[in-house]
Each structure stands twice: as structure tokens, then as C-alpha cells.
Amino acid sequence: LQHYFIQSNLSYVRSMLCIAMLRWKCTGMLCTRAFSQKTGSASKPGRLRRIGSALYNPAVNTLRDYKDVFVEAGQKLAKRPLKTCLITLSLSPLVYLWYYNPTLTHFQNATVHNHHRLLLINRQIRNKTSEEFIDHIRALQSQGRLGYLSLGLFSLVYSRHLNPELREFGAVFLRPRWSEYLNRVVDVGLVGRWWYMEQAMVDYDINEDEWR
């Protein structure tokens, strides 16, 4: 009986050891799988992170390049202050012209303003030159033939042959000669002013025919 009891205890201990070994193996496999998934997800970033890194790295490199260029330029300019002053003085008028280059909106506002000035006075005392100039611009605007071209330092307002929207209906645009381009110029914008319009609006309230 004692021998049977010892054998049964040994079998029970063996079974418990087997169960413990199986649990340890299963736990180890689960931990290994979880660690591999974690490291795999870390090694393979998401799509947004890849896109962000693809945009961030070139931007940082570009900013570094610009920083190096500006630092080198500043060092060279500091070594030659007289040359720097001369270059700055020579470029300042160009910067001024570029900054005050009038736009098409500015031209349209000036046209409306001068048209209202003409409406406030009697037709009999209006200057014919001023009235014809503003009426010509308003006619081009209503026909869609008023073009605008910015050349950086100054702007040109010119008359087109046809409305650009007519291309959809198969309209054929003529190519004028180079000599005709000057005749198509309506106004020249420079230093925030439209010079032809200002010249035409001089004495807009004086009818010269009335004094003849």
C-alpha cells in the first residue's frame, strides 16, 4: 500500500510538471508573437507617417540650403559694406516700381471713380476728351475686350480683337502686326497711377468747345 501511494504521488507530480511546462511554452510563444508584431508594426510605419516623412525631409533639406546661402551672402556683404550699399541703392527703385505696380482691379476702380466724376457735372460742360476716353474703356469692358498685362515694373491695359469667351464658339482670333500693338494700348500703369487716364481727366469739367 505504501508503494502504491508513492507511485501515485509520483504520477501526480509528473502530470503537474507536464502541465507547468506546457503553460510555460504557451506563454513564451504568445510573448514572442506579441513582440514580433510590435516590432513589425514599428518597423513598418503607417501611410500617413510615410507621407509625412517624405514631405518633411525634403523641406528640412531645402530650408538648410537656403539658410546656408543667406548666411554666406550675409558674410560676404559684411566684408564689403560699400558695395552692399551701392547694390541696395541701385535695386531700391526697381523694388519700389514692382511694389506699386497697379493691378487690373485698380484700373477698374479708377475707371468707375472718374466716370462718377463726369456724372456729377452737366453734360454741357464736360470735357469731350475725358468723356470719350472713359466711354471707350467702358465699351471695351462691356464687350469683354479689355486686356491686362503685368510686366513686373509696370502694367499695360490693351484692347483685344474679340472676347476670349468666343473661342468656345469657334471664333477665329486675328494676330495683329507688331506695329498695331501700340495702337491697341489703352493705358499704362506705373507707380500706382494710370497715366493716360490721368492725362485725359485733366480739366474734365471744362468744355473747350464752349470757349470757341
The string of pLDDT tens digits covering residues 22-62 is: 665 555 555 555 545 544 444 455 666 666 666 677 777 78
Alpha-carbon span 83 to 123, nearest angstrom = 59
Condensed to tens digits (0 to 9), the pLDDT of residues 69-104 reads 778 777 776 777 777 778 777 888 888 999 999 999
**17's grid cell:** 510538471
Considering only CA atoms, which of 132, 140, 135, 180 is closest in space to residue 157?
140
Quote the CA–CA distance of 89 and 91 in Å, as a whole number: 6
pLDDT at 194 exceeding the cut of 80? yes
pLDDT tens readout for residues 118-138: 999 988 888 999 999 999 999
String of DSSP letters for 86-115: HHHHHHHHHHHHHHT---HHHHHHHHHHHH
Confidence of residue 5 (pLDDT cuts 50, 70, 90): very low
Q: For the whole prediction, is pTM greater than 0.75?
A: no
Q: Map residue 133 onto helix, strand or coil.
A: helix
What's the maximum distance between 2 C-alpha atoms anywhere in the chain? 152
